Structures are given as structure tokens and as C-alpha cells.
Amino acid sequence: MSLRAPLARALHHGSAHDGVGHWLIQRVTAVALAPLAIWLLIALLSLPSSDYPTVTGWIGAGLHPVLLALTLLIASWHSWLGIQEVIEDYVHGFVSKSSALLASLFVHVLFAAGGVYAVLRIALAGGA
Amino acid sequence: MAERPLSPHITRYRWAYTMTLSIVHRITGVALALALLGLIAWLVSASLGAETYAAILPLLTGIAGKLLASLAVAALIYHFCNGLRHLAWDLGFGYERVDARRSAVLVLAVTLIGAAVCLYFIFRPGAGAA
């Protein structure tokens, strides 16, 4: 026996109608990420050295800053969607779940912004 | 909350190795989320100048750094290959049991070979020398 009206129960436990959007964006970001991930993996592994001039030179060269920024943004987006799914499945209770979802969102946005800023800073300092 | 009917939990089903691939996709996904944070930390340290970068570089070129990088690379290759498998399913291909098992073996084989090649580049002599 609940004191809540049927409408209130339905509003909070039904579909929010954005499930398909989540599913689709997860796939679209995956497709976008596929070539970028291969590019980044091969590029990083074939760097002749991981010292400062080599790394910053590579980050700032040609289209690299654009591709890197894109990779970071799309990877963060894809990661946020995936972690959200994991939290929704394994973290129970309204407060814990909401806190975990919020924390994940904030960390993803913070790191994405920080990463893009770092790439731009290195690229622009290179005297482009 | 109202009692709702539940679908049979995972422990109700007879184990099949394709189920292991499914959960490993999730585990590698979470690992890659952490690897992304590491990649960004590396980029940020490089943006803070030569001295800051030189101070953190030993973390990256040390044995622990190389092992973590190897795990991240292996996770990436697995998640990439198995992700393609999921995309094929989303398009309606590969649902037959024999196909799903064949693609599972293919994902594992490509991951092993790809990871082995990448490990060579991570640990090759002179790799990551500062």
C-alpha cells in the first residue's frame, strides 16, 4: 500500500524515452572512435622516443592537434556512456547511484576539457 | 518500489565462453576509461613544460608504466575487436551460434597477435628512452 498517486509512480519508474538515443550515440561514437583509436595507437607506439621535444613536436605537428582533440572528446563521450551503463547496472540505491553518475559525468567533462586544453596549449606554443 | 518481474539472472544459464567475452568487454571498457584518464594526465604534464614532463617521465618509462601501458593496449585491441563484433550484431549479422563462437575465437586470436606486436614496440630496446 503506497500513499503515492499512480501517476507519480509511473512518472518516476517508467521509460524516460531516451534509451534509444543513448544506445545510438554509443554506437556512433564507437564508429567514430575506431579509426581514431588505430591512428593514435600506431602513432604513439611508433614515436622514436618519449622525451619532451619528440612528444610535444608530435602533438603539435600538422593535423595531430585536431585529431587528438577529436579523439579525446569522442573517447570521453563514449566512456561516459559506457560507465553510466555500468553504474546503472551495479550501483544500487538512489543516492549512491545518482552520486556515482554525477561524479562520472564531472570527471569525464573535466578530463576532456583538460586534455583538449593541454593539446591546444602544446600546439599553439609550437609557434604555429 | 513495486515488485516487478525480473528476467532470469545470469547464474541461471549454463556457462558458455561467449558469455565470458561479453563480461570482458565491460571490464576492458572500464579499464580503458581509466587509461583515458592516464593518457590525458600524460598530455597535461607535457603541456606544463619540459621540467614537469621530465619529472613524471620515469613513471611512464619505468617497468610499472610499461606494464600498465601494455594492459591498456591489450584492453584497447580486445574492446576494439569485440566492439566490431557488437556492431555487426547491431546490423543483424553473426547471430547464429556457430557464427558467434567463430567470431569469439577470431576476436581472441586478433587480440593476442595484436597485443604481442604492440608489446614488442613497448618493450623494444631503446623504446621510451628519455
Kindly state whether residue B30 falls inside one of the protein's structural domains: yes
> For the packed helices B50-61 and B63-90, what is the interaxial angle rounded to 10 degrees?
80
Domains and CATH numbers, chain A: 28-124 (1.20.1300)
Kindly list the distances between the CA atom of residue B112 and the CA atoms of A19, A21, A36, A78, A81, in Å, as whole numbers in the listed order.
Answer: 34, 34, 21, 24, 27
pLDDT bin (cut points 50, 70, 90) of residue B127 is: low
Instruction: Give pLDDT tens digits for B37-82.
Output: 999 999 999 999 999 999 999 998 899 999 999 999 999 999 999 9
Instruction: Report whether pLDDT(B126) > 50.
Output: yes
Quick one: which of A44, A43, A49, A56 has its CA closest to A127? A56
B3 to chain A, any CB pair closer than 8 A? The answer is: no
Kindly state whether residue B20 falls inside one of the protein's structural domains: yes
ipTM of the modeled complex:
0.88
The pLDDT of residue B13: 85
Kindly state whether residue B8 falls inside one of the protein's structural domains: no
B130 to chain A, any CB pair closer than 8 A? The answer is: yes
pLDDT bin (cut points 50, 70, 90) of residue A16 is: low
Decide if B121 and A45 are in contact by the 8 Å CB cutoff: yes
Closest-CA residue of chain B to A30? B83
Decide if B37 and A111 are in contact by the 8 Å CB cutoff: yes
CATH of the domain at B93: 1.20.1300.10
Closest-CA residue of chain A to B118? A45
Average pLDDT over chain A reads 90
Which residue range is the domain that position B44 belongs to?
A: 16-123
How many domains, chain B? 1
The pLDDT of residue A9: 65
Closest-CA residue of chain B to A89? B26
Kindly state whether residue B72 falls inside one of the protein's structural domains: yes
What is the percent of chain A where pLDDT is above 70? 86
Residue B125 CA to residue A81 CA, distance in Å, equals 39
Give residues with Cβ within 8 angstroms of B121, minimum separation 6. A45, A46, B127
Kindly state whether residue B105 falls inside one of the protein's structural domains: yes
Instruction: Give pLDDT tens digits for A25-61.
Output: 999 999 999 999 999 999 999 998 899 999 999 999 9
Cβ-Cβ contacts under 8 Å, A112 against chain B: 40
B46 to chain A, any CB pair closer than 8 A? The answer is: yes
Cβ-Cβ contacts under 8 Å, B73 against chain A: 41, 45
Kindly state whether residue B40 falls inside one of the protein's structural domains: yes
- Asked if A72 contacts A116 with a C-beta cutoff of 8 angstroms, the reply is yes
Residue A97 grid coordinates: 547511484
User: What single DSSP character describes residue A112?
Assistant: H
The pLDDT of residue B15: 87
A-interface mutation test, from B10, B27, B34, B47, most A Cβ less than 10 A away: B47
pLDDT bin (cut points 50, 70, 90) of residue A4 is: low
Q: How many CB atoms are closer than 10 A to CB B39?
A: 21
- Least Cα separation, residue A128 to chain B (angstroms): 15
Kindly state whether residue B3 falls inside one of the protein's structural domains: no
B116 to chain A, any CB pair closer than 8 A? The answer is: no
Kindly state whether residue B83 falls inside one of the protein's structural domains: yes
pLDDT bin (cut points 50, 70, 90) of residue A128 is: very low
Instruction: Give pLDDT tens digits for B16-41.
Output: 888 999 999 999 999 999 999 999 99
Decide if B46 and A52 are in contact by the 8 Å CB cutoff: yes
The pLDDT of residue A18: 74
